Structures are given as structure tokens and as C-alpha cells.
Amino acid sequence: MNTMEQSLVSIIIPVYNAKAHLEACVQSILDQSYKHFELLLIDDGSSDGSSELCDELSQKSENIRVIHKENGGVSTARNRGLEEAGGEFIVFVDCDDMISQNYVESFIVASRDTDLVIGSIEDVYVDGTGKIYKPDLRVHKAPAQGILAEEYYDLIDWIRGPVAKLYRKAIIDEHHLRFDENLSVAEDQVFNFSYYRYVISYKIEERSLYQYFHYDTKISLSTLYTEKTFSNDVFKMDIEYTFLKEYCPNSYNMIYIHQVIGLLNKYTALQGDSRALSYYDRVKRLATLHPLVVDPSLGKKKQLIVRLLQMKLYWVVVVYYRYKNRQN
């Protein structure tokens, strides 16, 4: 415990118009079993009373510091938090989420023999009345600890965003890492890609539970798929491809092919546009973004899809996926 008490943890929360949920979020942090932390509430020019609430909450504990700034977006808020942070470790929490009571303590214990600690995430779905109708704990596929570059594919859904992980401030400071304030999409992924270049080992700490709240989401997923979300997903995949070629040279192609096929399956139709010709354009865009190489680790069906794309038989791929999704 003496070693733990020497490590100050900076918990950074960007706050923007989150009055309805901010107090519960902050309280989950004040309830931590690990007490040697500073909580930085970065008010990003809120206009709904969140600014005043931040000041009120700061009276609850001397661990809380409030920084008010003009609205500039979540990346500017996180960067301001990094500039203000004095801790050995950094934890990011979104202002409408919550963390388990031993979240920080479990992270610190696990950090003693690894470069990156990853927590667990519980997706909590809340309807329009504020009632939780589905808590869903995400299941880790990767080993509990290992080499990040070797297990990247099985960790891919966990390591893109900034929450549910523990960062070392020394790495961030030494390499002058910041969130790209010019990006409106995937800025958190770009930050993580930069950070992971200096990371070798990882450990999963399942007791560090992050509750990720989804409010009033009782709608069909198909209505969420638009040309904009498709373009955003392609952009994210494109920047990750560049990172993976360097960081995971032995497996980047396999990971990339899996992502391409995932988007082929996901975007067979868009909101308000189910035309086959539109889907054809998306298939062609995915097929020509980067070179496609058949990976022997792929199943036979996926290998066949890659070969069809290589031969520019896009209409065959269109027919296959649209028929496949109609059957599901």
C-alpha cells in the first residue's frame, strides 16, 4: 500500500453540457478506494449549468480542480487536462459515465509490471425514462497479459478509445503526445496509436470496471448507418492501417482484411438508401483503399471474398452480402 500511495493519479473529465449526469460520475470517483488522486474537471464552455455544477462539486473534495475554458471540443479539453495534470498516471473518464469503486486501485496494482493496463467495460443502456433496460458486460478475447503487438487483433475493440485504461504520464510527456485538435473523427485513436508506439506489454485488469452509458438508444441499428458513418469508419480504418504496418508488421494484413470484411457486412444498406448501386460504390471504395492480400489465417469464405475483390468482381460481392443479410 505504501508504494501505491506514492503514485498520484490524474483523472481527467472533459465536461460539456452534462449537467444531468455529471454529479453521479463525479461521485463514483470520490467513492474510490484509492484516495491519492486529483480530479480535473475541464469545463469546455458549457451553457446548461454544468459550469456552475463543476464549481459546486469542487466544494465536496480538495481532490477536485475545475478548469473553465472556451468551447473548443473534447480534444482541446483533454489536452488542457494533460497540461494541468501532475500525476504519475492518467485516467480519462467521460462525464456521463461511471467507474467501479476499486477502479483506480486495481489499475495501480496491475501497473507494477506492465506498460499498459486495460480495464473492463459494461455497456449500460438507458431508456427515455431513465430506466436501465440492458447492462451488457463486454468479454475480453485476449489473454490476461501479453505483448500488445502480438495480441492487437483480439484487443482491437478495447484499445482504440481513451477510457478504461491507465496511461503513464512520463510516456505522454517525453514524446509530447496530444490529441489532434484538427480532427473531428478518430482523434482518440490517433492519440492512442502514438502512445502505443512506446508500449510493449499490456495487462487486463477486469476489476477496473468502466460503465459506459448509452442513453435512449432503443432504435434500430440500421438507422444509424449513413454515408457519414461509413466515411468515418473508412477514415478510422485507413489511419489504423498505417499504424499497424509499422507496429504489427506480421499481422497487419490479417487485421486489415477482417476490418474490410466487417464493413462490407455492416454497410449493405444505409439509412434511406438501400440501392444496390450505392452498395457497389462502397464495395469498390473498400476494395481500392489499400492492397488486399489473401491471408492463410482467414476462413475459406473470407479468402474467396478477398479474391473476388482482387479481381474487381464487385457485383458478385454485392449480391452475396445483400442476400446474406436478407437471410439474417
- The domain that holds 131 is classified in CATH as 3.90.550.10
Assess whether pLDDT exceeds 50 at residue 102.
yes
Q: Do 208 and 261 sit in the same domain of this protein?
A: no
Q: Do 49 and 101 sit in the same domain of this protein?
A: yes
Q: Do 229 and 195 sit in the same domain of this protein?
A: no
User: Nearest Cα to 193, choosing from 257, 274, 247?
Assistant: 247
- pLDDT digits over 28-44, tens only? 999 999 999 999 999 99
Question: Quick one: pLDDT at residue 4?
Answer: 47
User: Among 215, 248, 281, where does a domain finish?
Assistant: 215
Q: Do 173 and 35 sit in the same domain of this protein?
A: yes
Q: Do 150 and 197 sit in the same domain of this protein?
A: yes
Q: Do 257 and 172 sit in the same domain of this protein?
A: no
Q: Do 188 and 314 sit in the same domain of this protein?
A: no
Mean pLDDT of the chain: 93
Does this model's pTM top 0.75? yes
- Spatial contact of 188 and 160, defined as CB atoms under 8 Å apart: yes
Q: Do 65 and 199 sit in the same domain of this protein?
A: yes
Q: Which domain holds residue 296?
A: 221-327
Q: Do 310 and 165 sit in the same domain of this protein?
A: no
Q: Do 68 and 206 sit in the same domain of this protein?
A: yes
Assess whether pLDDT exceeds 50 at residue 100.
yes
Alpha-carbon gap, residue 251 to 37, rounded angstroms = 38
User: Among 184, 199, 215, where does a domain finish?
Assistant: 215
Question: Quick one: pLDDT at residue 298?
Answer: 86
Question: Sign of dihedral through CA atoms 22, 28, 90, 62?
Answer: positive
User: Among 158, 191, 215, where does a domain finish?
Assistant: 215
Q: Do 284 and 310 sit in the same domain of this protein?
A: yes
Question: Quick one: pLDDT at residue 92?
Answer: 98
Q: Do 54 and 203 sit in the same domain of this protein?
A: yes
Total domains in the fold of the chain = 2
- Spatial contact of 107 and 117, defined as CB atoms under 8 Å apart: yes
